[in-house]
Amino acid sequence: MGTIADYTGGFILESIRKALHYFDSTEGPLTQDEKGKRLHKNINEFEPLILSLNQAGEYIRKAKSIAIGERVCRVLHPESVYTESVFLNELAMEMVASGHARIASIEEAEECLQKSAGHPLIISKVSGEYLEICPSYPPDCVYWRAEKRGLHCLERNKQAQ
Ligand code: SF4
């Protein structure tokens, strides 16, 4: 499971880098591949959910702290489209303390996600709680890349849209 310390200490970025490298250096479905299976298990620990904008707003409005910062994996692809993620609760505070994000209001966080229309919103569990909402960029996103290789990981949030 990814932890808050993994996000602030850079371990999460290293894990993403390794996963993307594996996708780039292999071909075809990875469902029967030992390394692919391990990767699948690690990815599923984040229990990623695809959210509508309204659903993302619900998480934001319930949060005790909110921060905005560049989507975590963009450092690996600085030439790619710029989007910012919304971090919640303790992850928000720690991302601000480590210089990766800035404190935001509910309105600023909702506006930030609205600006990224066209980028599917994904919420991930960090340290056991849904704390990161990312306007994902499918060509470089571990989740979307995993799906393409047969490693199903993305579910739609079943609550009311
Ligand atoms: S685009 Fe995908 S891999 Fe990158 S930070 Fe967002 S959810 Fe994570």
State pLDDT tens for residues 106-126.
999 999 999 998 999 999 999
> Is the whole model's pTM more than 0.75, yes or no?
yes
- Indicate whether 10 belongs to any domain: yes
The number of distinct structural domains making up the chain is 1
Q: Answer yes or no: is pLDDT of 161 > 70.
A: no
Atom of ligand 1 nearest to the CA of 122: 7
- Indicate whether 49 belongs to any domain: yes
Q: Answer yes or no: is pLDDT of 98 > 70.
A: yes
Query: Do residues 136 and 120 touch, judged by C-beta distance below 8 A?
Result: yes
Q: What is the pLDDT of residue 160?
A: 54
H or E stretch at 84 = strand 84-88
State the chain's mean pLDDT as an integer: 95
Q: How far is the CA of 96 from the centre of ligand 1 (A)?
A: 18
Pairing of strands 155-156, 49-51: parallel
With cut-offs at 50, 70 and 90, classify the pLDDT of residue 156: confident
- Indicate whether 26 belongs to any domain: yes
- Indicate whether 104 belongs to any domain: yes
With cut-offs at 50, 70 and 90, classify the pLDDT of residue 158: confident
Asked if residue 43 has its Cβ within 6 Å of ligand 1, the reply is: no
- Indicate whether 160 belongs to any domain: no
Pairing of strands 129-135, 121-126: antiparallel
- Indicate whether 161 belongs to any domain: no
Which residues form the domain of 82?
4-155
Query: Do residues 116 and 71 touch, judged by C-beta distance below 8 A?
Result: no
